[in-house]
Amino acid sequence: MLTLLADEPHFILIDKPAGQSFHREGEKRGVLELLREQTGVGELHAVHRLDQLTSGLLLVAKGAEAAAEFGQLFAQRQIRKYYLALSDRAPGKKQGTLSGDMEKGRNGSWRLLQSRQDPAVTQFFTAGVGNGQRAFVVRPLTGRTHQIRVALKALGSPILGDARYGGSEADRGYLHAYALEFSLGDTHYRYACPPREGEHWHSPGGQLAFGRFAEPWCLAWPRT
């Protein structure tokens, strides 16, 4: 059963578990199918997606009109998303913005290019949290497939547990959609949800990451 964090007139917000695919895979049902069965709401629309390895906040619109509104908000970068990640490798720099076109390879993986015709844009901060690990808070300004995973690999810090992009072996992929902020109609919404699954999230380093990248700090990021 999926964890519902909010059930509003125009949307549902869930905490997607790591390992849960967004789409059906064989006999294993995808997020929307599970959510329709669980809530009894038939007309649910995806407005963004999370990779299978990624846990955390996932918005689903109720009805086509709400989906169109969310589509506009995403297109105008009016929905602010923040992710937490762990890596066991130091990055080339500690904060900044990565921008570049993304190209898909033959094996289904993506890579970041130097060109910027239609770039993926990712902002990040990082800090050491002990035991050779680094915590990242990441804000994607665009919404490309595998964007954050590719960005951290390009920095030299592939996500812990992300075997596709060269991350060290772990019990899960350590990428979590942590916080969301947006306005819909006259109502402003803010949500933050720490990860529940993963031994490294519950280690002293993982807990230190939450202390450094807590909700007020995260949501105070410049609204560009």
Counted domains in the chain: 1
* Residue matched to tokens 């998303």: 81
pLDDT in the model for residue 146? 96
Rounded CA-CA distance 73/180 in Å is 13
Please compute, for residue 8, the number of CA atoms within 13 A of its CA located in the half-sphere on the CB side. 17
Q: Answer yes or no: is 199 within a domain.
A: yes
The DSSP bridge partners found for residue 95 are 125
Q: Answer yes or no: is 99 within a domain.
A: yes
Rounded CA-CA distance 214/187 in Å is 23
Instruction: Note down the domain range covering 79.
Output: 3-219
pLDDT more than 90, % of the chain? 75
Tell me the pLDDT of the chain averaged across its residues.
90
Give the burial string for 40-63 (b: 16+ CB within 10 Å, else e).
Answer: eeeebbbbbebbebbbbbbbbbbb
CATH number of the domain to which 202 belongs: 3.30.2350.10
pLDDT in the model for residue 224? 42
Cβ proximity of 153 and 161 under 8 Å: no
pLDDT, average across residues 128-138? 89
The DSSP bridge partners found for residue 182 are 189
Rounded CA-CA distance 136/82 in Å is 10
Q: Answer yes or no: is 66 within a domain.
A: yes
Residues labelled catalytic: 51
Going by the DSSP 8-state scheme, the letter that residue 28 receives in this structure is B
Q: Answer yes or no: is 78 within a domain.
A: yes
| Cα dihedral 8→50→102→148 (10° resolution) | 100
pLDDT in the model for residue 23? 83
Please report, for residues 5, 7, 23, 188, the alpha-carbon distance to residue 78 in angstroms, rounded to integers and kept in the order given: 21, 21, 26, 11
pLDDT in the model for residue 210? 65
pLDDT tens profile 141-184: 999 999 999 999 999 999 999 999 999 999 999 999 999 999 99
Is the predicted pLDDT of residue 9 greater than 70, yes or no? yes
Confidence of residue 202 (pLDDT cuts 50, 70, 90): confident
Q: Answer yes or no: is 173 within a domain.
A: yes
Q: Answer yes or no: is 165 within a domain.
A: yes
pLDDT, average across residues 59-66? 95
Instruction: Find the range with the poorest average confidence among 20-34, 35-49, 81-95, 204-218.
Output: 204-218
Is the predicted pLDDT of residue 223 greater than 70, yes or no? no
Q: Answer yes or no: is 224 within a domain.
A: no
pLDDT tens profile 99-119: 999 999 888 899 999 999 999
